[in-house]
Structure 1
Amino acid sequence: MVDYLKKNYPSKKIFLLADQRDLAEYTFEKKYNFTAYNWTLYDKISIIRSKDSLVTNIIKESSCFFDISGYAFSSSILNKFKFKNFEHSLSYLMSIVVAKNFSIPYFILPQSIGPFDYPLFYRKILKFLSFYILKYPRKIFVREKKYLDDLEKISGRDIVNFKDIVLVGEAYDLKNIYKERPVISEKNILNDSVGVILNRKIFDRIGADEFFDVYDLVIKKLLSKNKNVYIFRHSYEDLDLCISLKSKFGHNENVIFFNDDFNCFELEKIISKLDFVIASRYHSVIHAYKNKVPALCISWANKYYELLDYFSQLKYLFDCRQKINKEELSKSLDSLLSNYLLEKGLIGEKMEEVRKEYSISSLFKF
Structure 2
Amino acid sequence: MTGPRITIIGSALSGNKGASAMLEAAVQTLEARLDDPQFTLLSMYPAEDAAQNPYPNLEIVAANPKQLGVTINSLALAYRLLPFLRGTIRKRSRAIRALVESDVLLDQGGITFTDGREKFLLYNVASILPALNTGTPVFKCAQAIGPFQNPVNRRASRMFLPKVRTIVTRGRITHEFAEQLGLTNIVAGADYAFSLELDGTEAAAVGAHIDLSFFDGDVVGVCPSVVLQKKVDAAGGDYIGQLADFIEQVRAQGKRVLLVPHSVRTGTDKTHNNDLPLCREIHARLRLGDDLVFVDRELTSQQLRYLIGRCSLFVASRFHAMVSSLAMAVPTLVIGWSHKYREVLEMFELEDWAFGHDKFTPEYLASRFAELDAQRDAVKQKLDAHLPEVKARSLMQADLIAELVRGG
TM (norm. structure 2) is 0.76
Assess, with a 3 A threshold, how the Cα gap between structure 1 residues 74 and 37 changes in structure 2: closer, same or farther: farther
Rounded Cα–Cα distance in structure 1 between residues aligned with 2:316 and 2:290:
21
Deviation, structure 1 residue 161: 1.8
Deviation, structure 1 residue 287: 0.9
1:340 alignment partner in structure 2:
376
Residue of structure 1 aligned with 2:184, choices 138, 154, 157: 157
1:222 alignment partner in structure 2:
250
Q: Secondary structure at the match of 2:173?
A: coil
Verify: 1:112 aligned to 2:144, yes or no.
Answer: yes
2:49 alignment partner in structure 1:
26
Q: Secondary structure at the match of 2:375?
A: helix
2:133 alignment partner in structure 1:
101
Query: Would you say the 8 A contact 1:105–1:137 is kept in 2?
Result: yes
How does 1:164-183 map onto structure 2 within 5 Å?
164-167=191-194, 169=195, 171=197
2:350 alignment partner in structure 1:
313
Deviation, structure 1 residue 196: 0.9
Rounded Cα–Cα distance in structure 2 between residues aligned with 1:355 and 1:362:
13
Rounded Cα–Cα distance in structure 2 between residues aligned with 1:159 and 1:138:
9
Verify: 1:36 aligned to 2:36, yes or no.
Answer: no
How does 1:134-213 map onto structure 2 within 5 Å?
134-154=161-181, 156-167=183-194, 169=195, 171=197, 184-186=205-207, 187=210, 188=212, 189-190=214-215, 191-207=217-233, 209-213=237-241
Verify: 1:269 aligned to 2:315, yes or no.
Answer: no
Q: Secondary structure at the match of 1:185?
A: helix
Rounded Cα–Cα distance in structure 2 between residues aligned with 1:291 and 1:210:
31
Residue of structure 2 aligned with 1:2, choices 22, 27, 31: 27
2:96 alignment partner in structure 1:
56
Rounded Cα–Cα distance in structure 2 between residues aligned with 1:89 and 1:68:
15
Query: Would you say the 8 A contact 1:109–1:141 is kept in 2?
Result: yes
Deviates more, 1:210-219 or 1:221-230: 210-219
2:317 alignment partner in structure 1:
280
Q: Secondary structure at the match of 1:14?
A: strand
Rounded Cα–Cα distance in structure 2 between residues aligned with 1:73 and 1:286:
21
Residue segments in structure 2 that go unaligned for 5+ positions in a row: 1-25, 80-88, 265-273
TM (norm. structure 1) is 0.84
The one-letter code matched in structure 2 to 1:36 is: I
2:114 alignment partner in structure 1:
74
Query: Would you say the 8 A contact 1:96–1:136 is kept in 2?
Result: no
Query: Would you say the 8 A contact 1:44–1:95 is kept in 2?
Result: no
Give percent identity, aligned residues only. 22
**Superposed CA offset, 1:220-273 (max 9, x none):** 221121011111111111001111111111323322212121111111111111
1:16 alignment partner in structure 2:
41
Residue segments in structure 1 that go unaligned for 5+ positions in a row: 78-84, 176-180
Assess, with a 3 A threshold, how the Cα gap between structure 1 residues 32 and 227 changes in structure 2: closer, same or farther: same
The one-letter code matched in structure 2 to 1:73 is: F
Q: How many residues align?
A: 344
Assess, with a 3 A threshold, how the Cα gap between structure 1 residues 256 and 96 changes in structure 2: closer, same or farther: closer
Deviation, structure 1 residue 330: 1.7
The one-letter code matched in structure 2 to 1:55 is: A
Rounded Cα–Cα distance in structure 1 between residues aligned with 2:123 and 2:280:
34
Assess, with a 3 A threshold, how the Cα gap between structure 1 residues 245 and 277 changes in structure 2: closer, same or farther: same
1:80 alignment partner in structure 2:
none
Rounded Cα–Cα distance in structure 1 between residues aligned with 2:52 and 2:107:
21
Deviation, structure 1 residue 10: 3.2
Query: Would you say the 8 A contact 1:3–1:172 is kept in 2?
Result: no
